[in-house]
Structure 1
């Protein structure tokens, strides 16, 4: 068979997770993988709608549209506690009343976008790349924005105020960890290939844990924020036990996100 196509984001958690696998630094018995394509997660979401990659990073929100085409792998996910998107603003005096704000979101199909609609139903949004949101806030072209990835660690440097940690809100509402992103594989490729790729991802994470400094050149080559402390904090926050195995709790968290999205009419019943 041809090598399987692969796409994931340039964020430190993904490059940390996949470094050893794509650079063949570990024994790997799974299917051959084509050189990966790295791009913003919302771009990956859109490409998944077209079926571009055999294996791809997806927002869990986007996965709600694609369950008839892709299956979530047990490894590689961004899911946990205390790691949700932040609703931030430059309006310190309006922080208690965000209902009338125009909010920048990092993509229509991101989990952050769905969480915002669950938290503030019907709010006005404008879509832009995640790395442009804080600039838009500084220019006051929007009232608030959803901060994800490295921005979680740097928004205070821009004198921005956090109105709500949507991950904390989700945890209070549901009791589940927040399901941000997953690695999904085309359903038609079969269970054996799914399992083999999942095992390869786990081996890649374990190699990274044993050789953290060796991962840095690849991570830094793609990161938006190069400060070593920010990169380390990003990895520590988004790579955890769920990254090695979603388990029943992780899968239930994804199911609950999709169920709530369906309940407000934002996700189809597949």
Structure 2
């Protein structure tokens, strides 16, 4: 799949929204999941292949030094009438690949991707919903809030760098939202887990979504399984990134980390 940048807009000092259109988006089929994601492919400067390329063909025909960087991004919104795909990118200066690409993107630029895929969607039969994460999980949490049934209780705890990094969120549910702000200290890594531990859970069956930094997700998942008595089927937990690691380093160990996380609680 491929599409072209239609518009870009900064939502916060570190979050930019890219709306894609054209290309072959008329062939895109969205899954039902509100955590639907695409695997984008960003070629290095001077790549010896066209701006519209087949990642599998490039992988087979070109050396490692010119392979595109692969990153996974949640679909913030899909407009099937306008054939517009919206992705939100976290940008930390010049660090990484996808963030700088999005920050510099111009109308008409091409983005190649595979997907989308995704499974999580708020269970309409759940008594209440728990959504926990950081900026990386924000698109999925925002999309999930928009499909929570009217009047359903939904508890959201979100971590960001400060008040100017918060975004407006909408839902028909009965929303309990708290933004947590990093201070730059080592205690930042414990803010989300502490906020979840401090919650008084509403009565009934919860459906939980916990995505974000790897060690934070792992701690919260363990708490929900052990202290709160949730089952694995009642939650979606995924580590998107890991503190102190580059994207490439994290990709190399993510499979082993997830296996260890899954083995935390037998």
The reply to whether TM is greater than 0.5 is no
Report the TM-score, using the length of structure 2 for normalisation.
0.29
User: Which has more helix, going by share of residues?
Assistant: 1
Decide which structure has the larger Cα Rg and report it: 2
| Larger RCO, structures 1/2 (Cα 8 Å, 6+ apart) | 1
User: Which has more strand, going by share of residues?
Assistant: 2
